[in-house]
A and B are shown apart, each in its own frame.
Chain A
């Protein structure tokens, strides 16, 4: 028997029972759609997170004070501007260093007044932290050296203070002192919106104007030192260099623990995407259970179908069908159920992904979900496989039927 005839026979049998065939496919359909949706949406989510981390800057290491848990002192001031300078000078793997100190202060512009986070930064912050200036300019070396009273606004606070007006050149009061707005930053985007609410001033100015606890007898402390490493391959060595430098400048003896933390953005990003990946796998696994149920449904219906068609099988054998012919006929029927269910499922999954993308985008959440090719290939493979596996037992039963008894079957 030619393969094409096997297909024709199987298709005719399925078409003879249209409703039943469609209902049988439903399980596979839903399963495949669910798996496709989970994989696609998961991938979109991962890429959103990756993008968010990319806006922070590449090859970044953050140095922060030790976590203030046990000691009870919030915001332990263990890092200083001198530490940042030491890292810049002595760590060979480091390209640039940008220390930051922050405090809350009242910001007044015209009749608008609000409490905002004021960040003291250095000109290096622009390239290290990937700040993009939307209007005006960033803090320059000269204004840093001159301790100028200039401020750069985050996009959100600029809108709050000035509305649609261009803030550059305007005067604001920070902690009662006059500053001139020289620039506005572009939005940092999803996940890091806090930075859009900050006011950036030169770190040198920070210490002589708004600084609180940062200025003490121990020197000018910073809340964070952002370090840009020369290349991603040097992240590890940079971490070691920084740790060694800070241990020695802080006079930490061997065996004593660090009073600071060194974290690379990449490692945090990797952890987050890893967790997301595991979550996606779990979700896809749950969706996959419905594929299993669909497979059981196919097997069930194929068994019913074999029982119903015992006489037909007997007749086919009498007119010359071999075991193999019967086996292939029923296997193709089952596989076709799987494949058709899978194909419709891919379409359904695609629709789900599109709808969710549209809903997310209209809700202000730029979420570009596409159905990845591997998901389609996977779905196709899995649904053929499920069809074949669930069809195997019924098909073997059909093929083994004795022609004489089958012909006599009522």
Chain B
């Protein structure tokens, strides 16, 4: 469960202050599948970074599974990202010249768990890529790369998956495949937050949070 309370974020760009978020309050329950939409400049990315614990809000409270994330230091945030959040990016962000298996293992390397290989294998099986484990990203199609990324996001059993335009670099058919994977994961109980500007993609989710000028326009 994830609670945002009056979150603001102010960037200083030289002399001027940019108010990226102007008081966001919302609540996303465990097991929900939510999309965050809005035009560019609406604060989508900023909100996603804060939810993903990559950035801290200027003011307001953010609780993730009851933990007051806004009070944590950098190292604690790194641990939260490692254990509670699975990232899926538009450009996949896989390590090049590194096998699919090693890519999926990466979060486990930083959490120092045992039987990494086995868990990574399970992750790849879950996205239907068990036959591709020794391939490097350059040898995989876009949809396959994104599936490796989803396996990587899942491997540490996170509380939520945060996907930033996960289909932005994919064709329609592959996009559908990826969204069906998200849908299936959600049905298995995974909390999923999608940031997108495509209505087709948002349509897969149960709820859509619309942002405009750093505020929630509709939810």
**Inter-chain contacts of A325 with B (CB < 8 A):** 110
Q: Considering the complex, give the chain B residue whose CB is closest to the CB of A410.
A: B91
**Would B81 and A318 count as touching, CB distance under 8 A?**
yes
- Count of chain B residues near A, Cβ 8 A: 25
**Would A322 and B98 count as touching, CB distance under 8 A?**
no
**Would A407 and B78 count as touching, CB distance under 8 A?**
no
**Inter-chain contacts of B107 with A (CB < 8 A):** 319-320
| A43 close to B (CB within 8 Å) | no
**Inter-chain contacts of B106 with A (CB < 8 A):** 315-316, 319
Q: Distance (Å) between the CB of B118 and the closest chain A CB?
A: 16
**Inter-chain contacts of A9 with B (CB < 8 A):** 109
| A23 close to B (CB within 8 Å) | no
**Inter-chain contacts of B98 with A (CB < 8 A):** 12
| B79 close to A (CB within 8 Å) | yes
- Separation of A386 and B110 alpha carbons in the complex (Å): 28
Q: Which of B55, B93, B97, B111 contacts A320 (CB 8 A)?
A: B111
Q: Which of A311, A319, A323, A403 contacts B152 (CB 8 A)?
A: A319
**Would B93 and A311 count as touching, CB distance under 8 A?**
yes
**Inter-chain contacts of A311 with B (CB < 8 A):** 93
**Inter-chain contacts of A407 with B (CB < 8 A):** 54, 89, 93
- Separation of A320 and B55 alpha carbons in the complex (Å): 13
**Would B109 and A1 count as touching, CB distance under 8 A?**
yes
**Would B74 and A323 count as touching, CB distance under 8 A?**
yes
A403 in contact with B111 given A317-B78, A319-B106 (CB within 8 Å): no
Q: Distance (Å) between the CB of A377 and the closest chain B CB?
A: 33
Q: Considering the complex, give the chain B residue whose CB is closest to the CB of A6.
A: B109
Q: Distance (Å) between the CB of A19 and the closest chain B CB?
A: 14
**Inter-chain contacts of A320 with B (CB < 8 A):** 78-79, 81-83, 107, 110-111, 156
Interface of A is mostly: helix
Q: Considering the complex, give the chain A residue whose CB is closest to the CB of B155.
A: A319
Q: Which of A12, A321, A323 contacts B110 (CB 8 A)?
A: A321
| B188 close to A (CB within 8 Å) | no
CB contacts under 8 Å to B, within A283-320, are 311-312, 314-320
**Inter-chain contacts of B95 with A (CB < 8 A):** 312, 315
Contact with A along B144-165 (1 / 0, CB 8 A): 0000000010001000000000
Contact with A along B133-153 (1 / 0, CB 8 A): 000000000000000000010
**Inter-chain contacts of A314 with B (CB < 8 A):** 93
- Separation of A318 and B48 alpha carbons in the complex (Å): 12
- Separation of A346 and B49 alpha carbons in the complex (Å): 50
**Would B93 and A322 count as touching, CB distance under 8 A?**
no
A16 in contact with B97 given A319-B152, A323-B74, A404-B49 (CB within 8 Å): yes
| A253 close to B (CB within 8 Å) | no
Q: Considering the complex, give the chain B residue whose CB is closest to the CB of A314.
A: B93
| A67 close to B (CB within 8 Å) | no
**Would B55 and A319 count as touching, CB distance under 8 A?**
no
| A2 close to B (CB within 8 Å) | yes
**Inter-chain contacts of A312 with B (CB < 8 A):** 95
- Separation of A321 and B108 alpha carbons in the complex (Å): 10
A318 in contact with B87 given A16-B97, A311-B93, A404-B54 (CB within 8 Å): yes
Q: Distance (Å) between the CB of B41 and the closest chain A CB?
A: 15
Q: Distance (Å) between the CB of B163 and the closest chain A CB?
A: 13
**Inter-chain contacts of A403 with B (CB < 8 A):** 54
**Inter-chain contacts of A319 with B (CB < 8 A):** 81-82, 87, 106-107, 110, 152
- Separation of A201 and B151 alpha carbons in the complex (Å): 98
**Inter-chain contacts of B89 with A (CB < 8 A):** 407
Q: Which of A16, A315, A322, A404 contacts B74 (CB 8 A)?
A: A322
- Separation of A351 and B76 alpha carbons in the complex (Å): 52
**Would B82 and A2 count as touching, CB distance under 8 A?**
no
| A5 close to B (CB within 8 Å) | yes
- Separation of A404 and B46 alpha carbons in the complex (Å): 10
| B52 close to A (CB within 8 Å) | yes
| B75 close to A (CB within 8 Å) | yes
Q: Distance (Å) between the CB of A59 and the closest chain B CB?
A: 67
- Separation of A315 and B83 alpha carbons in the complex (Å): 15
CB contacts under 8 Å to A, within B60-119, are 74-75, 78-79, 81-83, 87, 89, 93, 95, 97-98, 106-107, 109-112
**Inter-chain contacts of A404 with B (CB < 8 A):** 49, 54-55
- Separation of A94 and B60 alpha carbons in the complex (Å): 96
- Separation of A322 and B107 alpha carbons in the complex (Å): 12
- Separation of A310 and B110 alpha carbons in the complex (Å): 18
Q: Distance (Å) between the CB of B194 and the closest chain A CB?
A: 17
**Would A315 and B109 count as touching, CB distance under 8 A?**
no
Contact with B along A1-22 (1 / 0, CB 8 A): 1100100010010001000000
Q: Considering the complex, give the chain A residue whose CB is closest to the CB of B83.
A: A320
Q: Distance (Å) between the CB of B112 and the closest chain A CB?
A: 6
Most buried by A among B54, B87, B89, B98: B54
Q: Distance (Å) between the CB of B91 and the closest chain A CB?
A: 9
Q: Distance (Å) between the CB of A315 and the closest chain B CB?
A: 5
Q: Considering the complex, give the chain A residue whose CB is closest to the CB of B94.
A: A315
CB contacts under 8 Å to B, within A321-345, are 321-325
Q: Distance (Å) between the CB of A230 and the closest chain B CB?
A: 71
Q: Distance (Å) between the CB of A399 and the closest chain B CB?
A: 10
Name 28 interchain pairs, CB-CB below 8 A, sorted by A: A1-B109, A1-B110, A1-B112, A5-B112, A9-B109, A12-B98, A16-B97, A311-B93, A314-B93, A315-B93, A316-B106, A316-B110, A317-B78, A318-B52, A318-B87, A319-B87, A319-B152, A320-B79, A320-B83, A320-B107, A320-B110, A320-B156, A321-B110, A322-B75, A323-B74, A324-B75, A325-B110, A403-B54
With contacts A1-B112, A317-B54, A318-B54 known, what are 7 further pairs, Cβ within 8 A? A315-B95, A319-B107, A320-B110, A323-B74, A403-B54, A404-B55, A407-B54
